[in-house]
Amino acid sequence: MSAIQQSKVTVVGAGFVGMTCAQRCAQEELAAEIVLIDVLEGRPQGIALDLDQAAAIEGTGTRVVGTNDPADTAGSDLFIVTAGRPRKPGMSRSDLLDVNGRIVGEIAEYIRTGSPEAFVIVVTNPLDIMTHLMRAKTGFPSKRVVGMAGVLDSARFSWFIAEKTGTSVVDVDAMVLGAHGDSMVPMERYCTVNGVELSALCSKGDIDEMVDRTRGGGAEIVNLLKTGSAFYAPASAAVAMAGSILRDEKRLLPSACFLNGQFGFEGVYTGVPAVLGKEGVEKIVELPLTTEARIQMQKTVGEIEADVAKLVELGLL
């Protein structure tokens, strides 16, 4: 284990994603203190007690605190926001816009007042729009508010590539841009297996099939589970991003970032390659795009902008 980071991390929401984030943060000793907050009385406290007792077995020194009181999150260095209603079969991420928008607005208020210097990683769906709302409600610099999207979507693409090619997933590098939804843009041009281009390993038909499966990767799990959505991979993705920021690892991770002209877009959050370090989003890397990829990016950004407009109609922004 690495030395414990002398910091405080709050995970908002003690559902499956949130509790798994808390577990991974504790096991990786990402902070000296992990606060797990939820509106349901007893749940975060019970999970925290269980994780603290697990520390005796794991040999870790991070303390997990469960609470229902936003005051206990004050002074946090970083928030991972997972609270919100999950998708059910047949629902799109945009179907959650109203209910989760109100939840994110309430969370943003206590983040802004109690932890004005914090970084925020948003996991709540619809992710790009909720990240936009979080930044607006906190008033934080955009480099300190980022959405977890591309890391998860790229991981799904990586697994499908490994499965199709019969190779180890640890050798696969994949990149997915755009919204965390059906219009995401898997970048097969930038996918490799230990440096070998995907086009040398798979037919165009196989690649198209993996691209489609990546776009529906979340829905595939929702349909299989029937009563919930994915949580292991989303939690791993969020904690990887948190670790890169808190430990200044400067990892290049596809993340939902606020664009100021990059890729030709202005004033919108969407998934792009970004270097995450102690300043938050330290650099957005602009990749050369094919005409097809640029058209797809315009489509995905258009859908995000339409949902942001709905937030305004709902009085949430």
**Catalytic center residues:** 180
Q: Which residues contact 10 (CB under 8 A, 6 or more apart)?
A: 34, 35, 36, 37, 73, 76, 78, 79, 80, 115
Cβ count near 312 (within 10 Å): 9
The CA distances from residue 262 to 73, 114, 150, in Å, are: 34, 32, 16
Place of tokens 């841009």: 177
What letter does residue 169 receive in the DSSP assignment? G
* Helix (H) or strand (E) segment spanning residue 146: strand 145-147
The CA distances from residue 286 to 25, 245, 251, 264, in Å, are: 30, 20, 15, 10
The burial class, CB within 10 Å (0-12 / 13-18 / 19+), for 24 is: buried
Cβ count near 57 (within 10 Å): 7
Vertex 169 angle, CA 164 and 170, to 5° = 155
CB-based contact 76:10 (threshold 8 Å): yes
Report d(CA 37, CA 48) in Å as an integer.
Answer: 10
CB-based contact 176:184 (threshold 8 Å): yes
Write out the DSSP string of 239-272.
HHHHHHHHTT--EEEEEEEEEESGGG-EEEEEEE
